[in-house]
């Protein structure tokens, strides 16, 4: 109950609003040192992905990225490590993280089995249980990609761009069997229930380019995710739905509304969406444009995208840019959604700006570091004595 009160206080809503949302599946609670609620009527949350690659394995670097993500204002962290000792890296990151912590267990299972097609159901379930025992709060589970969708997705420009999804795809093709996570979803639910774990139902067939957006494969998987969400709710396990990906601007609203309808208003967690494919180096911007519109349309949770998306593993500075861009998108969406507490920040900023109150502007700003190092002097060098707020000062309230 204290956790619900903490979340309600942070959101500026009544605790009963959270309790009812959790009961009907429109809100999930992500546990952790600083728990947060994700879902209908709440502020849009931002996740930051960190983690090693096989080419870059530095726990020191990942700890720096973690600390930067927390400092920059991420609401949650996901460890997507695929290089080095994944268990050791996860535990070290969790020791330093006070935010809800998520993982993608299929990565560790694939690594422990050697090759994707050699994964066994028991390796997957053991990995999920090991990570849950460690205190992981939410996990991406690629249960929605089924064998009937592979032939459809094969016709795409990019058949599959989800790393976890490609592992399950390879396993199904090689073993000529159905997705083990789909067929044994009840076993996953049993572990989730035992550890009060939130499942994030992964969209293995999210579009990886505009040409594949809103296609049959994507929608086919979404329908599966809707069914799985209903099964999870009946079992008393909280679920979020993951969504695209790459979508042109004019597809975003329809995609969010369709996902909400098909999943009976389950919290929607989007990666991006990136609204164009041609801006590598700037995909924190392409995704922030999509994220703002998605949040406005009803998305509840945005996974950041860094400037190095499609180019390489992000560094600490990229993590900062990714979190700040996603926070701007989430905030812009929240204003349009009518989240009052968020909107008030803009009014406070307008007053502080008109009063040339630099300290307060820094306190309100999404990135306060832009106001650091001015030693109380006016940091703006744009207009000097022609500053409009000096020429025509605002009336005192
Ligand atoms: S100096 Fe110019 S840009 Fe800077 S705060 Fe004043 S009006 Fe705005």
302 Cβ contact list (under 8 Å, min separation 6): 44, 45, 46, 47, 269, 270, 272, 291, 294, 295, 326, 329, 330
The closest alpha carbon to 131, from 112, 108, 162, belongs to 108
In a domain, 236, yes or no: yes
Q: Tell me: do 111 and 213 sit in the same domain.
A: yes
Q: Is 387 in the pocket of ligand 1 (CB under 6 A)?
A: yes
Q: Are 316 and 65 in contact (CB under 8 A)?
A: yes
Segment holding 48, helix H or strand E: strand 45-50
Q: What share of the chain is helix, strand, coil (3-state, %, to 5)?
A: 55, 10, 35
Q: Are 164 and 204 in contact (CB under 8 A)?
A: yes
Q: Are 62 and 91 in contact (CB under 8 A)?
A: no
Query: Angle at Cα 219 formed by Cα 276 and Cα 241, nearest 5°?
Result: 85
pLDDT at position 352, please?
95
Q: Tell me: do 257 and 222 sit in the same domain.
A: yes
In a domain, 20, yes or no: no
Q: Tell me: do 319 and 368 sit in the same domain.
A: no
Q: Is 389 in the pocket of ligand 1 (CB under 6 A)?
A: yes
Determine the atom of ligand 1 nearest the C-alpha atom of 353: 5
Q: Tell me: do 188 and 319 sit in the same domain.
A: yes
pTM of the model: 0.96
Cis peptide before 264 (omega within 30 of 0): no
Q: Tell me: do 373 and 289 sit in the same domain.
A: no
Measured by CA distance, the residue closest to atom 8 of ligand 1 is 387
Query: Angle at Cα 271 formed by Cα 12 and Cα 310, nearest 5°?
Result: 140
Q: Is 372 in the pocket of ligand 1 (CB under 6 A)?
A: no
b (16+ CB within 10 A) / e for 151-170 = ebbeebeebbbbbbbbbbbb
The alpha carbons of the chain give a radius of gyration, in whole angstroms, of: 22
Q: Tell me: do 115 and 143 sit in the same domain.
A: yes
The closest alpha carbon to 308, from 298, 292, 295, 320, belongs to 320
Q: Tell me: do 233 and 352 sit in the same domain.
A: no
Tell me the DSSP string of 366-380: SSGGGGTTSTTS---
Neighbours of 344 (CB within 10 A): 13
Q: Is 380 in the pocket of ligand 1 (CB under 6 A)?
A: yes
Neighbours of 333 (CB within 10 A): 24
- Distance from Cα 183 to the centre of ligand 1, integer Å: 61
Q: Tell me: do 156 and 228 sit in the same domain.
A: yes
Q: What span, in angstroms and rounded, lies between the C-alpha atoms of 31 and 33?
A: 7
Measured by CA distance, the residue closest to atom 3 of ligand 1 is 382
Assign residue 188 the CATH number of its domain.
3.20.20.540
pLDDT at position 376, please?
60
The one-character DSSP state at 394 is P
In a domain, 81, yes or no: yes
In a domain, 270, yes or no: yes
Q: Is 378 in the pocket of ligand 1 (CB under 6 A)?
A: no
pLDDT at position 316, please?
98
Q: Tell me: do 121 and 184 sit in the same domain.
A: yes
pLDDT at position 368, please?
95
pLDDT at position 247, please?
98
Q: What span, in angstroms and rounded, lies between the C-alpha atoms of 25 and 40?
A: 10
Phi-psi region of 281 (alpha: psi -120 to 50; beta: other; left: phi over 0): left
| pLDDT per residue rounded down to tens, the chain (397 residues) | 789 999 999 999 999 999 999 999 999 999 999 999 999 999 999 999 999 999 999 999 999 999 999 999 999 999 999 999 999 999 999 999 999 999 999 999 999 999 899 999 999 999 999 999 999 999 999 999 999 999 999 999 999 999 999 999 999 999 999 999 999 999 999 999 999 999 999 999 999 999 999 999 999 999 999 999 999 999 999 999 999 999 999 999 999 999 999 999 999 999 989 999 999 999 999 999 999 999 999 999 999 999 999 999 999 999 999 999 999 999 999 999 999 999 999 999 999 999 999 999 999 999 999 988 776 677 788 999 999 999 999 987 7
- Structural domain that includes position 357: 342-391
- Distance from Cα 397 to the centre of ligand 1, integer Å: 21
Q: Is 392 in the pocket of ligand 1 (CB under 6 A)?
A: no
Q: Is 393 in the pocket of ligand 1 (CB under 6 A)?
A: no
Measured by CA distance, the residue closest to atom 6 of ligand 1 is 387
Neighbours of 112 (CB within 10 A): 17
Q: Tell me: do 277 and 326 sit in the same domain.
A: yes
In a domain, 9, yes or no: no
Q: Is 382 in the pocket of ligand 1 (CB under 6 A)?
A: yes
User: How far is residue 8 CA from its own chain's centroid?
Assistant: 21
If one residue of 387, 391, 393 were mutated to test the ligand 1 pocket, choosing by the most ligand atoms within 8 A of its CB, it would be 387
The closest alpha carbon to 319, from 64, 131, 39, belongs to 64
If one residue of 388, 391, 393 were mutated to test the ligand 1 pocket, choosing by the most ligand atoms within 8 A of its CB, it would be 388
Going 282 to 283 to 284 to 287, the CA torsion angle's sign is positive
Q: Is 388 in the pocket of ligand 1 (CB under 6 A)?
A: yes
Q: Are 288 and 273 in contact (CB under 8 A)?
A: no
């Amino acid at each position: 109950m204290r956790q619900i009160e903490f979340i309600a206080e942070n959101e500026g809503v009544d605790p009963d609003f959270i309790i009812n949302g959790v009961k009907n599946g429109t809100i999930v609670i992500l546990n952790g040192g600083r728990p947060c609620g994700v879902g209908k009527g709440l502020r849009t949350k931002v996740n930051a992905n960190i983690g090693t690659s096989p080419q870059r394995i530095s726990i020191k670097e990942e700890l720096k990225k973690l600390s930067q993500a927390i400092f920059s204002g991420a609401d949650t962290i996901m460890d997507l490590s695929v290089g080095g000792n994944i268990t050791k890296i996860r535990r070290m990151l969790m020791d330093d993280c006070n935010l809800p912590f998520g993982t993608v267990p299929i990565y560790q299972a694939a690594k422990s089995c050697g090759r994707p097609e050699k994964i066994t159901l028991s390796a997957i379930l053991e990995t999920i249980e090991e990570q849950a025992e460690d205190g992981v709060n939410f996990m991406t589970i690629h249960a929605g990609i089924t064998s009937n969708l592979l032939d459809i997705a094969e016709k795409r420009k990019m058949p599959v761009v989800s790393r976890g999804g490609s592992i399950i795809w390879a396993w199904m093709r090689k073993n000529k069997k159905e997705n083990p996570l789909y067929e044994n979803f009840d076993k996953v639910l049993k572990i989730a229930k035992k550890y009060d774990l939130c499942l994030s139902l992964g969209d293995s067939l999210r579009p990886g380019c505009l040409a594949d957006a809103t296609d049959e494969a994507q929608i086919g998987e979404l329908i599966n995710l809707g069914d799985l969400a209903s099964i999870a709710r009946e079992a008393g396990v909280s679920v979020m739905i993951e969504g695209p990906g790459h979508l042109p601007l004019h597809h975003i609203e329809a995609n969010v509304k369709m996902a909400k309808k098909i999943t009976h208003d389950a919290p929607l967690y989007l990666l991006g969406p990136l609204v164009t494919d041609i801006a590598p180096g700037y995909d924190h911007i392409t995704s922030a444009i999509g994220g703002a519109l998605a949040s406005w349309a009803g998305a509840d949770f945005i996974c950041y995208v860094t400037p190095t998306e499609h180019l390489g593993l992000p560094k600490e500075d990229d993590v900062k840019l990714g979190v700040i861009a996603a926070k701007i998108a989430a905030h812009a969406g929240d204003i349009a959604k009518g989240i009052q507490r968020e909107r008030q920040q803009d009014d406070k900023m307008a007053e502080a700006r008109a009063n040339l109150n630099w300290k307060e502007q820094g306190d309100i700003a999404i990135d306060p570091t832009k106001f650091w190092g001015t030693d109380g002097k006016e940091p703006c060098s744009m207009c000097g004595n022609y500053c409009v707020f000096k020429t025509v000062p605002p009336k005192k309230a």
